[in-house]
Structure 1
Amino acid sequence: MAAHHDHKHDHDDAGGHSHSHAPANFGTAFAIGITLNLGFVLIEGGYGVVSNSLALIADAGHNLSDVLGLLVAWVASVLVKRPPSKQYTYGLRGSSILAALFNAVFLLVALGAVAWEAVQRLATPEPVSVGTVMVVAAVGIVINGVTAWLFATGAKDDINIRGAFMHMASDALISAGVVIAGLVIFLTGWVWLDPLVSLIISAVIVWGTWSLLRDSLAMSMGAVPSGINAAAVQTYLESVKGVSELHDLHIWPMSTTEVALTVHLVMPSGHPGDEALLEICHELEHDFKIGHATIQIETSESVRCALAPAHVV
């Protein structure tokens, strides 16, 4: 990808395009997770109505939102592998970032609905069928726990997968809280614990979801991914033999797993050769996980593009 062709000056471009950081295939995990949760939504919602448990009904609603969240994440994981086109020259890699942002926002909205219902129920506590609540919630722990486990290996490196993982882990936590609340209600008769536990768990999940929202929002705005030290990248490039100055350094996420970089390197002694540029690209990928690097060589420090400020981003 060449930068700023409107100026006539000698330049060469080197592109590193390794795909070693492409997302793993979680298609089976998505299929299993969606099937299990859709079935559980029907069972839990029905028993929630029968047992008059807000916790079960709220958890069923949250599980339904998880099904939608898993569908969105699955679609994005497929779209991200679509080849580039004339209109979408990077393919549809950015869809994974949008899916992660959607999941973060949707999870918070769903939790807000749970909290609102819990507040209303706190004002007018109602008796619940404790035994039914505990059994159904225990099944929920297993289903959500297994589904979360399916996504655990990708949750660290891919925030789209992390969004799916957060949905399932949060549901497992809510179900565990429902079991505990049911046990305490059985022993004490404190029916107000049912909505109170929903509130407490919702607050805990909101706290854990904040990082997902923050990271996905930043990535959607083209920010440097949180795992990359932009200052260290700049320091490395400035240390390359023959570089007297650099400008227009940009680092941004192409997807939730791939990072791109463009930079202008001022090398008064001239072009260092393709082998040297390939070595730079290799170092960027190996040390900083930047797999798509485009480097423009300039021989004059006075060269600046009219529309681009002389600074490093």
Structure 2
Amino acid sequence: MDARDKHDGARPGHGHGPGQGQGHGHAGHTHGVSADADRRWLSLALALIVAFIAVEAGIAVVAGSLALLSDAAHMLTDAVSIVLALVAMRLSARPARGGYTFGLKRAEILSAHANGLTLLLAAVWLGYEAVRRLFHPPEVTGWMVVTTALVGIVVNLLATWCLSRANRSSLNVEGAYQHILNDLFAFIGTAVAGLVVLVTGYARADAIATLLVVALMLKAGYGLLRDSGRIFLEAAPVGLDPDEVGDELAAAESVTEVHDLHIWTITSGEPALSAHVLVEPGGDCHRVRRDLDRILAERHGLTHTTLQIDHAERLPAGAHALSAAPASAGHCATPHGPVHHDGPHEH
């Protein structure tokens, strides 16, 4: 296990007995790429894209190509997504203070959500225009479409490479990356469509290429909205089952019950957990907390944890643990979620 700073502080609990209410701080989180490096790569990609948008939009109007115009519109959303990502990076880097106890780390999730939404909205508009042009295809200048699309492929390859160098574990950066990657595919489709128009004169190829781009935009947009939405709704990280985690904690030595278990994501790559843990009367709360920290870190990569440790109330003489009321009843007025016991589990 990696070395981590631990802070053994106490916070008020709602139980009785020695060692109650033990809290636990968390270690800092780092990424393989620094925030300054991320900003440099995103800024370089933004400069490439903005320079090309103006040229492409003008050529699209002259050539009468919806595919080129859709690429230009998509690139505009690329530029907006990168600007949002850069702003979000600045905001999320601010330290926690005042009422923002987590700082503004979720700004990057807002950015990713906005990126997904712009992809979907742009896809709807382009899809409508593409269908309309399938029925009434305008004249398209094939050679201008092919030439511009080939240049666009080069520009997008460079921009995609720039963003691939940034930290893509950030949903914020991943949102901008998905924008540009989809635009790269769009330019490839546009180049093929332009070649078809140039060789065969089949003008509808331009609209068909646009519909393929729309499908890619819908897929990427939905993925970003789904992932950012899970974070906003405080869902557990994908691949992490809270019931399994609760059962593992309840099965640890001296633990009699785990309840109020919450697992969520603060921002990309920063899962967090909190739980109320009851220890058998006379048990060592400090040792239990250390054991549970180790289980969470080694098995699930959870290092941002807050565990409240209390002693369970002693049962009356002759009472059986499973037949008695949940131990949490004497500690929490309204415990949330399932209660995990050290015996057969109830969910």
Normalization by structure 2: what TM-score?
A: 0.82
Q: Which residue, out of 66, 85, 98, partners 1:54?
A: 66
Looking at structure 2, the residues matched to 131 and 67 of structure 1 have their Cα atoms a distance apart, in angstroms, of 26
How big is the alpha-carbon RMSD for the aligned residues of Structure 1 and Structure 2?
2.5
Q: Which residue, out of 268, 277, 287, partners 2:289?
A: 277
User: What does the per-residue CA deviation read over 1:137-162, in whole Å, with 9 as the maximum and x for residues that have no partner?
Assistant: 11211222222233336676322222
Change (3 A) 1:145 1:9: farther
Change (3 A) 1:118 1:41: same
User: What does the per-residue CA deviation read over 1:227-278, in whole Å, with 9 as the maximum and x for residues that have no partner?
Assistant: 4232332232123221111000001111122111100111024463546534
Looking at structure 2, the residues matched to 153 and 239 of structure 1 have their Cα atoms a distance apart, in angstroms, of 43
Q: Structure 1: which 5+ residue stretches go unaligned?
A: none
Looking at structure 1, the residues matched to 199 and 167 of structure 2 have their Cα atoms a distance apart, in angstroms, of 38
Looking at structure 2, the residues matched to 31 and 48 of structure 1 have their Cα atoms a distance apart, in angstroms, of 26
Looking at structure 1, the residues matched to 32 and 224 of structure 2 have their Cα atoms a distance apart, in angstroms, of 18
Looking at structure 1, the residues matched to 217 and 234 of structure 2 have their Cα atoms a distance apart, in angstroms, of 26
Q: Hey, what does 1:177 align to over in structure 2?
A: 189
Change (3 A) 1:100 1:83: same
Q: Could you tell me whether the CA contact under 8 Å between 1:22 and 1:258 is conserved in 2?
A: no
Q: Could you tell me whether the CA contact under 8 Å between 1:14 and 1:274 is conserved in 2?
A: no
Q: Hey, what does 1:32 align to over in structure 2?
A: 44
| 3-state DSSP of counterpart to 1:14 | coil
| 3-state DSSP of counterpart to 2:258 | strand
1:86 aligned onto 2:98: yes
Q: Hey, what does 2:26 align to over in structure 1?
A: 17
The answer to which of 179-188 and 72-81 deviates more is 72-81
Looking at structure 1, the residues matched to 193 and 250 of structure 2 have their Cα atoms a distance apart, in angstroms, of 59
Q: Structure 2: which 5+ residue stretches go unaligned?
A: 1-6, 313-326, 340-346
Q: Hey, what does 1:144 align to over in structure 2?
A: 156
Q: Which residue, out of 166, 175, 178, partners 1:166?
A: 178
Q: Could you tell me whether the CA contact under 8 Å between 2:149 and 2:190 is conserved in 1?
A: yes
Q: Hey, what does 1:132 align to over in structure 2?
A: 144
User: What does the per-residue CA deviation read over 1:176-221, in whole Å, with 9 as the maximum and x for residues that have no partner?
Assistant: 1000101111111100110111012211331243222211111111
Q: Could you tell me whether the CA contact under 8 Å between 1:265 and 1:297 is conserved in 2?
A: yes
Shift of 1:15: 2.0
| 3-state DSSP of counterpart to 2:24 | strand
Change (3 A) 1:146 1:276: farther
Looking at structure 1, the residues matched to 11 and 116 of structure 2 have their Cα atoms a distance apart, in angstroms, of 36
Alignment of structure 1 residues 100-249 onto 2, 5 Å: 100-152=112-164, 157-249=169-261
Partner letter of residue 26 of structure 2? H
Q: Hey, what does 2:316 align to over in structure 1?
A: none
Change (3 A) 1:220 1:119: same
Normalization by structure 1: what TM-score?
A: 0.91
Partner letter of residue 306 of structure 1? A
Partner letter of residue 20 of structure 1? H
Partner letter of residue 27 of structure 2? S
Looking at structure 2, the residues matched to 290 and 261 of structure 1 have their Cα atoms a distance apart, in angstroms, of 7
Looking at structure 1, the residues matched to 46 and 217 of structure 2 have their Cα atoms a distance apart, in angstroms, of 21
Q: Which structure is higher in RCO with an 8 Å CA cutoff and minimum separation 6? A: 1
Looking at structure 1, the residues matched to 337 and 219 of structure 2 have their Cα atoms a distance apart, in angstroms, of 39
Partner letter of residue 311 of structure 1? P
